[in-house]
Amino acid sequence: MATTIQSPETESKKPRLDNGNSGGGGLRNLGPTNGSLKLLEDFSPEPSRTGVWVGLAAITMSFAAFTSALIVRQSTANDWHHLTIPSIVFFNTVVLLASSITLEIARRRVAEFARGRTANRSTPLAWLSATLLLGFVFVTGQYIAWQQLRAEGLYLASNPNSSFFYVLTAIHVLHVLGGLAGLMRVIYILRRPVLSLRRSTMDATSYYWHFMGVLWIYVLLVIWIKL
């Protein structure tokens, strides 16, 4: 074997085509009209689903970096004044978690609609709109939380804990706004007369949104816990 670079193929009838591990993509944007219809079998997993997982990995890493900065910062100096989390933040938490539930319902309704079990497009749309609304309530709530902190005289540079509070919540809100844009896109596509919503788009958006909820709980814990 040492002298063989590649073991020779033994199959003679048809060349070996390893489908098990292949992406089988390559023509993502291309409908089957240009090629053989058979190729549809090889349609790749939609990249948006992969993409969102990869993106979430990056976001996780960023927040891990913020966390380590917070831990180091909290333990190196004695100027840390633990702030009381504004009360509206807990309300916001409930709102964000509720939005995850409504989105999950919407996702299932979309699936039912797509499988033809129901012809009613407005049900999923209503749930999606509810999610969108809750999302905006959350963002507004966070804004009110900042106002409350400012009323207490706690600004970005007041002390390290308030710095981290503003930075972490603001970055989180930015990501939530990204999620809201995704939701709006899904709603827009769903309202089109010719349906072209891919399930992966719907899935990717909802994974991202659920992750925002999880991330928020994490952020809250990080800010709340005193080392």
Partner 1 sequence: MGKLFAVIVFVIALLSAIPIITHSWFGSGISFALPEDISTHGHAIDDQLSDTMVEAGLSFLAAQFVLAFFVWKFSNRQANAEIKTFPGGAKGLVIAALVLVGTEMLALGILGQKAWAAVYFTPAKPDAIQVQAQAGQFAFYFRYPGADGKFGALHPDKIDEGNSNFFGLDPANDVDSRDDIVTGELAIPINREVHLMMHAKDVGHSFYVRELRIQQDFVPGLDLSVHFTATKVGKYEIVCTQLCGLGHYNMKAYLNVLSQEDFDAWMKQKASEQ
Partner 2 sequence: MSDRVVQAVPTTADVVHHHQPPQGFIRKYVFSLDHKMIGKQYYALALVAVFIGMVLSWLMRIHLVWPNWPIPGLGLLSKVGAPGGVMTPEYYLSLLTMHGTLMVFFVLTNAPFAAFGNYFLPIQIGAEDMAFPRFNMMSFWTTFLAFCILIAAFFVGDGPPIAGWTSYAPLSAVGADAGPGQGFGQTLWGLSIFVFCIASLLGALNFIATTLDLRTRGMTLSRMPICTWAWFITSCIALLAFAVLLPACLLLILDRVAGTSFFIPAGLVISDRLQPHSGGSPLLWQHLFWFFGHPEVYIAILPAIGIVSHILINSMRRPLLSHKVVIYCMMGIGFLSYMVWGHHMFVSGMNPFSSLMFSFPTLVITIPATIMTLIWLGSLYGSRLRITAASLFALGFISMFVSGGVSGFFLAQPSIDIYLHATYFVVGHFHMVMGVAAIFGVFAGTYFWFPKMTGHMMNESLGKLHFWLTFIGTYCIFMPFHYLGLAGNVRRYSAFVDDFLVPLIPVHRFITIAALCTGAAQLIFLYNLIHSRFRGAPAPDNPWECTSLEWIMPSPPPFDNFGGKHVVVYHDPYQYGVKSSTGDYLMQNSPEQVEVRT
Interatomic CA distance for residues 146 and 156, integer angstroms:
10
Q: Say whether residue 17 binds partner 1 (CB under 8 A).
A: no
Q: Say whether residue 69 binds partner 2 (CB under 8 A).
A: yes
Tokens representing 160 are: 């390290």
Per CB under 8 A, contacts with partner 2 among 1-40 are 3-9, 12, 15-36, 39-40
Q: What angle do CA 27, 33, 37 make, to 5 degrees?
A: 80
Q: Say whether residue 156 binds partner 2 (CB under 8 A).
A: yes
Interatomic CA distance for residues 165 and 145, integer angstroms:
10
Q: In the chain, how long is the greatest CA-to-CA distance?
A: 80
Minimum CB–partner distance for residue 11 and partner 2 (Å): 8
**Which of left, alpha, beta for 153 (phi over 0: left; psi -120 to 50: alpha)?**
left
Q: Say whether residue 105 binds partner 2 (CB under 8 A).
A: no
Per CB under 8 A, contacts with partner 1 among 62-81 are 76-77
Given the rule CB under 8 A, which of 1-9, 39-47, 50-58, 199-207 is the region that contacts partner 1? 1-9
Minimum CB–partner distance for residue 161 and partner 1 (Å): 18
Q: Say whether residue 41 binds partner 2 (CB under 8 A).
A: yes
